[in-house]
Structure 1
Amino acid sequence: MPIRTLALTSGDTTAEDHRLLVGSLLGGIDTTWPLDRRGGLFYSMGAASLDGEGMVATIRPFTAVVSGASSPLQGPYLVVSSEDTTVLLEDGPGTGPRADLIGVVIRDGAYDDSGTALAEVRVIDPDVDESYLPLFEVTVPQGASEGTGGIPWGSAVQDRRVYTASSGGILTLPDLAARSRLSAVQDGTLAHVVQDGDLYIRISGRWHPIAGKQAESEQLERLDNRFQQHPGEWQRVELESGVNHSGSFPVEVRRTPGGLVHMRGTFIIDEDREKLTSTSIARVPEGFEPFRLTRWVTASQQITAEDKNSTRLEVRSDGRIWVYTLYRPRWIGADNLTYWTN
C-alpha cells in the first residue's frame, strides 16, 4: 500500500510502517530517494564514548538512528543502548596492524540474508553488514594481545561518531568544547551553545554563528574591516585656476573597496588669488564623490604673515572641494581627511 499511517488499526500497522513513519520526523538527506533519513547519534554529553583496557572497548549508553541500507523501504531504526556495552577485539595480526570499526549493527532477516533480527554493538564487517552506524575506528597493532598489554588506547582510537537531530531540531551543547567535538555533523545542523547563548549552523564542515554574542562580534568585525587600509591607487584631484599642487605633496585621493576615501597632500594658493571666503578650489575624480557634504578644519598658513592658522574644507556631493577662510592662505593642508562615498 503506497500510503502509510500510524494509529488507524494497530494490527494493520507493520514494523516497516513504524520505521518509515517515525523516520519522517528525522532530518532528511540530499539523495534521490525522498524517504532516506540522516542516521547518527542523538547528542548528549558522553553519548557512546569509549573506554579501553587491554583488548576490550567499553561503549557508554546512547540513543541513535541507524539507516536501513538493505532496501529502499527498510527505513531507519531507532536504537537505545541503556547500559555500558563491551566489545572484545581479536588479537593483533601476525603481520602489520589491523583497523577495526566499532559501531551499531542492524541485522534484519526481512531484508538481508542474516535469518535473524537484532541490533548490537560490535566490530563491523563491511563485507557482510549492510545497515550500521560507525562509532570508532581502532588500530590494533601487530601481535597485540591481553598478554602483551593490549591496545594502546590513548593513540589507537579515531572518533567516527556522527550526529543527527529530529526535523527542525537543534542540538543543545553545554560549551564550545562540546561543539568542537562534533566534527562529523551534517551541513545544515543547528547547535545552541548554552555557555554563551549563541546559535550556530554547520556549513561546509565549519560552525558559523548566526545569533548571539559571537554573531554580533563577527558582524562588527566585518564592519570594522571597511575601515582598514586596502585602497586602490592614488589619484590627483582636479585643481581650479589659481590653485596648485605642492611639489612634494600633491593633493590625491584613493578609496577602499568598502567606499572609504582617504585624502592627502597640500594645496598651494597663488598670491594674486582673491580672498577665499567661500570658494571652490578643486574637484575629486569621478567615483570619489561623498554621499553627503563632509566638512573638516585643517591646517593652513597666511600669505600676509608667517603665522599658521586653520581653514575649513568641505567636499560636496558633486565632488567639488570648497574652502572657507577670513584671510588669503599661502597653503592649505589636506592630509588624513576621510569620507564615505555613495
Structure 2
Amino acid sequence: MSVRALALASGTTGLEDHRLLIGALLGGVDSEWTLDRRPGLLGGGGNPAAVTGSGMTATVGAFAAVVPGASSPTQGPYLVVSTDPVEVPLVDGPAVGDRVDVLGVVVHDDVYDSTGAVSAEVRVIDPAVDVTTLPLHGVTVPQGASVGTGGVPWSSAVTDRRVYTATHGGVISVPDMAARNRLGAVRDGTLVHVFATDALYMRLPTGWTPAAGQPLYDALAGIFQRRPGAWTQATLAAGITHGAGSPVELCRTPDGLVHMRGTFTTGRPINNTELGQVPAGMEPQRLTRWSTAAAQSQPNNSARVEVQPSGIIRAYAVYEPSWVSADNVTWWGTT
C-alpha cells in the first residue's frame, strides 16, 4: 500500500504503518530518500547511551534513538528504546596490531535487508552484514587484550561517536549551503544548521537569514558600528595643558581602533615638541601623522600632530602660543 494512514477505524493499520507514520514526525535530513530521517539519540536527562567497561565487557546505558533504514528508500526510520544497561562482550585483541570495535544500535528487518532476522540490538557493529545502524562509541581493543591481561584500558580506549536528533519542528541539519538551498518549500520560521559554515539559519518570507554563528556576526557588523570603550585622559607634557572643558582623552574599540579628542593648549610656540603620552595599550602600530586645526595667525590655521609607536604625542609648526585640536585623530592600536 503506497498511501498510509495512522489508526484507521477499520483496524487495518499495521505495525509498519505505525512505524512509518510515527517516523514522519521526526527531524528531517538532507537525503535523496524522502522517508529518511535524521539519525541520533533523542535528547533527554542524564547521559544517554553512556558507556562503562570492565575487562572485555562494555556496558551501554539506557537511551532513546532514531535509526534510519538504510536498505531501501521506502524503509523509513526505526525508533529504538533501551530501558536498561546492556552488556556487550568484546572479542580478545588481535595477535598483531590494535582493533577498533564500534558499539551501536543494529536493526535487522527481513522485509528490507533479507537477513532473515527481525531484531534491534546494542552490540558491536559488523559492517559486513549490518546496514541499518547507529554508532554510539568506538573502543580501541589493544593487541593481545583479554580478560587475563586486564582487558581493555577503558579510561583511554573509548571514542564518543554519539550524535543527537530532534522531532519534527526542531533544527534540521544539512551538510552545506547547497543542501540548505534545496529546502525551498519549508515553512517560514524553520531553523537549519549548516555544518559547512557551523551556523544556524532561519527561513523568512525574504529567504534564509543567519540566526547564529559567524554569518550572523558578519551581518551585524555591517549594520552596527562597534562602540568604543571608556575614555581615558592622556598624560600631558610639562608646560602643556588642555582647553577648558576639553581634556585630551582617548578610547579604544573592541576591534582595536583608537580615537582621540580634546584640545592641547600651549603657552609658547612649539615645533617638534612633545605634547603628552597616550595611555598604555593605546599606542599606534607605527608612526602616524595628521594635519589638525590650530588657533594661530599663520596661514591655514593648522598644525601637524604625530603619535609615535612609543605613545609620545608631538606637534610641529605652531608658531605662537595657541591651541592644537586632537579631535577626530584615530589610529589602529597594537594587538
TM-score for the superposition, normalised by structure 2: 0.59
Report the CA distance between 1:22 and its aligned residue: 0.8
| Correspondence for 1:204 | 195
CA contact (8 A) 1:141 1:151 kept: yes
Report the CA distance between 1:79 and its aligned residue: 0.7
- Of 291, 297, 315, the residue aligned with 1:265 is 291
CA contact (8 A) 1:263 1:337 kept: no
Any unmatched runs of 5+ in structure 2?
177-190, 201-209, 229-251, 259-269, 274-287, 303-314, 331-335
Q: For each residue in 1:209-233, what CA deviation from the matched residue of structure 2 results, as whole angstroms up to 9, or x when unmatched?
A: 958xxx99x97998359944579xx
Please show how residues 60-75 of structure 1 align to structure 2 within 5 Å.
60-75=61-76
For 2:17 and 2:271, the matched residues in 1 are separated by: 86
Partner SS state of residue 65, structure 2:
strand
Q: For each residue in 1:278-312, what CA deviation from the matched residue of structure 2 results, as whole angstroms up to 9, or x when unmatched?
A: xxx9xxxxxxxxxxxxxxxxx99997xx4334xxx
For 2:104 and 2:95, the matched residues in 1 are separated by: 25
CA contact (8 A) 1:263 1:335 kept: no
CA contact (8 A) 2:296 2:318 kept: no
For 2:298 and 2:33, the matched residues in 1 are separated by: 85
| Correspondence for 1:327 | none
CA contact (8 A) 2:65 2:80 kept: yes
Report the CA distance between 1:268 and its aligned residue: 7.1
Report the CA distance between 1:28 and its aligned residue: 1.0
| Correspondence for 2:240 | none
| Correspondence for 1:95 | 96
CA contact (8 A) 1:163 1:186 kept: no
| Correspondence for 1:133 | 134
Q: Identical aligned pairs, as a percentage?
A: 48
Q: For each residue in 1:193-212, what CA deviation from the matched residue of structure 2 results, as whole angstroms up to 9, or x when unmatched?
A: xxxxxxx985437477958x
Cα 1:271/1:38, change in 2 over 3 Å: closer
Report the CA distance between 1:115 and its aligned residue: 1.6
| Correspondence for 2:49 | 48
Please show how residues 70-81 of structure 1 align to structure 2 within 5 Å.
70-81=71-82
Q: For each residue in 1:307-334, what CA deviation from the matched residue of structure 2 results, as whole angstroms up to 9, or x when unmatched?
A: 334xxxxxxxxxxxxxxxxxxxxxx545
CA contact (8 A) 1:135 1:161 kept: yes
Please show how residues 227-266 of structure 1 align to structure 2 within 5 Å.
227=253, 228-229=255-256, 264-266=290-292
CA contact (8 A) 2:145 2:152 kept: yes
Q: Report the number of matched residues.
A: 239
Residue identity matched to 2:322: K
1:31 aligns with 2:25: no
| Correspondence for 2:12 | 12
Cα 1:223/1:3, change in 2 over 3 Å: farther
Please show how residues 97-246 of structure 1 align to structure 2 within 5 Å.
97-169=98-170, 202-204=193-195, 206=198, 210=211, 223-224=226-227, 227=253, 228-229=255-256
Cα 1:51/1:162, change in 2 over 3 Å: same
Cα 1:50/1:270, change in 2 over 3 Å: closer
TM-score for the superposition, normalised by structure 1: 0.58
For 2:54 and 2:171, the matched residues in 1 are separated by: 35
